[in-house]
Amino acid sequence: MSRTSPVELRFPFPGPGGKRPVSASGGSQPRWHRDGKELFFLAPDNTLMAAEVSGRGEMFEVVTIRTLFKTRAAGPGYQYDVTADGQQYLINTMVDRKLYTPITLVQNWTAGLKE
């Protein structure tokens, strides 16, 4: 699934049926919430989204889509995962080393006080 294509269900959930569009603006890496009532995905700008869905029998409806937060997700394979309760996220992120300064650790500094 490319980043420019609409997010679609690749496999019916639950039961038989075809693909159903979730996002017209595109996205990737869809993940189901454990209860099957919410679908997480990355928008093309790397924003993590949550789509509340409702399905009964052959009917499938996207109730609402919420923006959760902007990520810096990067790397191969799935770049994020969601906990079973849908409240915490693990995101593979590339870190810009320019943002961090080194830490200097001075050991035995009290010895210098006695002189």
Q: Taking the CB of residue 7, how many other CB atoms lie within 10 A of it?
A: 26
Strands 21-23 and 7-8: antiparallel
- State the DSSP string of 49-100: EEEEEEEETTEEEEEEEEEEEE--B-SSS--EEE-TTSS-EEE-B---GGG-
Q: What is the pLDDT of residues 64-94, one digit of tens each?
A: 888 898 888 887 778 888 888 888 888 888 7
Among 10, 32, 5, CA closest to 20: 10
Percent of the chain with pLDDT over 70: 77
Predicted TM-score of the model (pTM): 0.64
What is the separation of C-alpha 109 from the centre of its chain, rounded to a whole number of angstroms? Answer: 45
